[in-house]
């Protein structure tokens, strides 16, 4: 309805006591740039402390965390999958091959239908950035991160996070995400949860009930 659009825009102009004004975008940009941002943007921890905080926060959310090295990554992934008795596991498209254990057969994301997602034991992805202060992993759904439904429908999500991907603060994460700003973005902080009944936190309502994070040092 173009008339509703015009009417709303006009009401806004008269409410803010500004007529139609060609300079508004320029002035808005100038005023916006002048907004003070005195909050913490950069973190203060060294790399070791940052990783420690990240892992600590993940534990707070009931996520399962395993630390490993780049060399042992495939074995670690195999161990985690085995530990939880996972057989049918889907690997996100674009996941680096050298990361995955050779003796484990993965179903490729591109070949998995909704039924496969609904029935599988779990999935494996990487992420774009992780935030230590909040225990968050962020998927920009690029190569290796899967389409959004991949990390949503299955019951178990294994996410590989490399140490250099972990930042301390939320603003640092947004700096790293800026190039992906128009990608679909999913911030994941622990398994899906609800506290709608008597404020009791229950894990796993609709998203994965289990989140395994493999941290690669």
Site for other proteins in 66-125 (CB under 8 A): 114, 118
Contact region for other proteins (CB under 8 A) — 71-79, 95-103, 141-149, 159-167? 141-149
Tokens of 161: 């996070």
CA–CA separation, 78 and 82 (whole Å): 6
* Strands ordered across the beta sheet of 122-126: 64-68, 210-216, 156-162, 122-126, 89-91, 107-108
Minimum distance from CB of 27 to other proteins (Å)? 8
Tokens of 181: 């700003």
User: Cα 44 to chain center, whole Å?
Assistant: 22
The residue from 52, 70, 184, 217 that contacts other proteins (CB under 8 A) is 184
Minimum distance from CB of 171 to other proteins (Å)? 4
Judged by beta carbon, residue 74 or residue 135, the one nearer other proteins is 135
Identify residues 16-35 at the interface with other proteins (CB under 8 A): 16, 24-25, 27-28, 31-32, 35
- E strand or H helix at 53: helix 47-60
Judged by beta carbon, residue 62 or residue 78, the one nearer other proteins is 62
């Amino acid at each position: 309805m173009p008339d509703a659009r015009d009417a709303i825009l006009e009401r806004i102009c008269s409410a803010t006591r500004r007529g139609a004004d060609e300079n508004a975008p320029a002035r808005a940009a100038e005023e916006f740039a002048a907004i003070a941002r005195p909050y913490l943007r950069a973190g203060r921890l060294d790399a070791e402390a940052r990783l420690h905080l990240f892992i600590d926060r993940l534990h707070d959310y009931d996520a399962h965390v395993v630390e490993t090295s780049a060399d042992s990554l495939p074995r670690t992934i195999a161990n985690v999958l085995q530990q939880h008795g996972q057989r049918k596991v889907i690997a996100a498209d674009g996941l680096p091959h050298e990361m995955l254990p050779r003796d484990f057969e993965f179903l490729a994301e591109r070949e998995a239908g909704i039924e496969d997602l609904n029935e599988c034991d779990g999935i494996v992805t990487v992420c774009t950035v992780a935030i230590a202060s909040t225990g968050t992993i962020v998927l920009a759904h690029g190569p290796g991160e899967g389409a959004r439904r991949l990390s949503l429908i299955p019951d178990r999500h294994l996410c590989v996070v490399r140490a250099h991907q972990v930042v301390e603060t939320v603003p640092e994460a947004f700096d790293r995400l800026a190039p992906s700003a128009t990608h679909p973005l999913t911030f994941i902080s622990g398994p899906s949860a609800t506290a709608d009944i008597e404020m009791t936190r229950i894990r796993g309502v609709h998203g994965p009930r289990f989140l395994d994070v493999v941290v690669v040092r």
